[in-house]
Chains A and B, each alone.
Chain A
């Protein structure tokens, strides 16, 4: 039993365990103390001072986020002086912030803006020097706008504590403090792995995704027939985009998503799920070959481009273990400009491929030379995040919530439930196990649900018994967890066979391109990926087809075009390679 502490907050007596902070204790009484730098899933920073409270016996204010309670403490969270102090603090932050809310990407979703409104700031009284820095849009994925930074340090903490990348730090001091990568170099010249978690935790628009909406509008407004414009949304989009239109978290909206994409003017609406099923066929074959002694074990998955960047910068010695399979997006884009182009009688350059991803690292993946045709044009022409697509839908005047359900086009829109769950952490593993179990036992009806790999825990390990073989598996999300498992593999304590690694905490459903959560939820709250994953598992269990290899369109694709899984043609089109890249990250 922890020691219990008695205190009063705003004259209300309360008893909480020792070590509780004033901010947490107040929450138990239904008192919400305003905060900006504080984040429940990150370490304490105490930088913004917005959460100040008055404590009896002190003639200065204390910060509620970091102050632990003591016996007999008397806290006042509301008084004219405190309200004034909080207002002054936020006013001073605003004074050093651009006055461009109306034209800012985060208008309406900005925590600074909300805080200013809540605290009753209705005019800007202070006029002082304002910091001026150029926008850094050097990265293919993440745009940094230091002028909008309020130095809360959340990005620094998420990059270090959740992702283990340590790419960001405060530089300089006082008024001249700037948050940025080492040497304040460009983002594309840094250890950034482009996961975009800094975008998600940023209270303002100091970090944003690289905009691809412009190029997609341009493509969609070309004279009809000039280009055949195709689109593919990732599994996670259907579980999250509804939130942007006020639907509850975890509402599956596959049909509405398809209709919205059609109304935007795409000529064909395909499904990244098809690519996911294909990935499973290729990856399961690769896995079975390695289990048979061809190549090293464990096999590490390769769907997450943030993880691939991390691999190349932080763990290049693990490259031989990593699956050479392209990601579902890149597999499908490749097929769109080869197989599909041939079928339609189109030249590859007549097809324009747009991918909708929960991810900002996909923008970089799409631009990688490994994923381009011989003449240098990329297989994927544009990558929109869920947020970008939601904005386009709103901007186009589409009433998303009331849309009728649509259906994906054939053949590249047919998929199994195994593909839907790719968006959840453990989903790729489960999908692979469903197919591997059938291939290993030769029985058509292997197990479907692998409970051990479900749930949003950062690191899961299990031993699965298939056909008399013990398959040791591990599933990780968030790159600090990836580090743990990679270091274990390197130490050789245990022989793992198959390891799924996703860069983002909670998997793709909580990716760097997903909707900002509603006001009452924090972005790293495990509830968020849990609810979104639930939607994906629901879609999966409602489907007739549950195993990737049962997808008839995939079967047909191999017979008609690719030949054997892992065969020469499949290898040429669906696989890639990796190499150590600089700057080398410190792990």
Chain B
């Protein structure tokens, strides 16, 4: 009877990641400094699932043989990596100089109180994620927020509720006809 648990662990880890990520890791295993592929691997995982789950990070650690503490250390260091699933709609508040001078912090405050979340979090219903960003290059419209790929500006704290409502209605309303 074997006392080794590696084959079970390996199988579970391979199942937790998309096939192309598993193949990418396997291709680099055994090469010099294979651990330097960590960020590339995490990018691939996030690209496919929108965020990095604990299960996925553990799978990356085991398959790439990079200590898990290192993996989660890197994942928490970079703002780019998300550790929680993102909402259906992504709200980015521009905190660049122009928007900031024009009161972006008040827009942020209003969004936080309306949504009941902080920056970096997602609403319980999974509808919105709130993030901050630096200059979106539309300073003429300052202050601006960006929801998904749509820029809204100039906005006042008073506009926020109306803007959010549109997205809430869209997701709750009758299913839009499929466009071909």
Q: B-contacting residues of A (Cβ < 8 Å)?
A: 160, 166-173, 180-184, 190-191, 316-317, 319-320, 578-580, 582-587
Contact = CB atoms under 8 A, between A and B. Distances in A.
B65 interface: yes
A167 B69 contact: yes
Given A166-B67, A170-B73, A171-B72, A316 B3 contact: yes
Given A169-B72, A169-B73, A317-B3, 11 more contacts: A167-B67, A169-B67, A171-B76, A183-B57, A316-B3, A316-B4, A319-B3, A320-B3, A580-B4, A584-B62, A586-B66
A173 B76 CA distance: 8
Nearest to B70: A169
Interface in B31-78: 54, 57-58, 61-62, 65-73, 76-77
A580 B62 CA distance: 15
B68 A586 contact: yes
Nearest to B64: A586
A182 B72 CA distance: 6
Contacts of A183: 54, 57, 68, 72
A565 to B, nearest CB: 25
Given A172-B76, A316-B4, A316-B5, A166 B62 contact: no
Interface centre among B9, B67, B72 (most CB of A within 10 A): B67
A584 B76 contact: no
B9 A584 contact: yes
26 contacts: A166-B67, A169-B67, A169-B72, A170-B73, A171-B72, A172-B76, A172-B77, A173-B76, A182-B58, A182-B61, A182-B67, A182-B69, A182-B72, A183-B72, A191-B68, A316-B5, A317-B2, A317-B3, A320-B3, A579-B3, A580-B4, A580-B5, A582-B5, A583-B58, A584-B6, A584-B62
B67 to A, nearest CB: 3
A184 B9 CA distance: 22
A355 B27 CA distance: 51
B144 to A, nearest CB: 26
Contacts, number: 73
Nearest to A577: B3
Interface of B: 2-6, 9, 54, 57-58, 61-62, 65-73, 76-77
Contacts of A582: 5
Contacts of A320: 3
Majority SS of interface residues in chain B?
A: helix
Q: Which 4 A/B pairs are nearest by Cβ-Cβ distance?
A: A166-B67, A169-B73, A169-B69, A317-B4
Q: Which of A182, A317, A578 has the most CB of B within 10 A?
A: A182
Contacts of B67: 160, 166-167, 169, 182, 191, 585-586
A586 B61 contact: yes
A169 B74 CA distance: 9
A173 B77 contact: yes
Contacts of A167: 67, 69
A583 B4 contact: no
Nearest to B68: A182
B41 to A, nearest CB: 14
A144 to B, nearest CB: 13
A134 B128 CA distance: 30
A51 to B, nearest CB: 25
Contacts of A317: 2-4, 6
A181 B69 contact: yes
B8 to A, nearest CB: 9
Nearest to B74: A169
A142 to B, nearest CB: 15
Contacts of B2: 317
A173 B79 CA distance: 9
Contact of A166 (B54, B58, B69): B69
A170 B78 CA distance: 12
A580 B8 CA distance: 12
A492 to B, nearest CB: 16
Most chain A CB within a 10 A radius of its CB, from B4, B62, B66? B4
A373 B111 CA distance: 59
Contacts of B4: 316-317, 580
A154 to B, nearest CB: 15
Nearest to A171: B76
A586 B62 contact: yes
Contacts of B76: 171-173, 184
Contacts of B5: 316, 580, 582, 584
B71 A182 contact: yes
B70 A166 contact: yes
A586 B65 contact: yes
A274 B62 CA distance: 42
B73 A171 contact: yes
Nearest to A174: B77
Of residues B9, B54, B61, B68, which shows the largest number of chain A Cβ atoms within 10 Å of its Cβ? B68
A56 B107 CA distance: 50
B138 to A, nearest CB: 28
Which of B71, B73, B76, B77 has most chain A Cβ within 10 Å?
A: B73
A585 B6 CA distance: 11
Nearest to A167: B69
Contacts of A173: 76-77
A477 B62 CA distance: 26
A580 B72 contact: no
B146 to A, nearest CB: 24
A183 B71 CA distance: 9
Contact of A580 (B3, B54, B66, B71): B3
A171 to B, nearest CB: 4
Contacts of A580: 3-5
Contacts of B66: 586
B165 to A, nearest CB: 34
Contacts of A191: 67-69
B75 to A, nearest CB: 9
A573 B71 CA distance: 43
A160 B73 CA distance: 14
B19 to A, nearest CB: 22
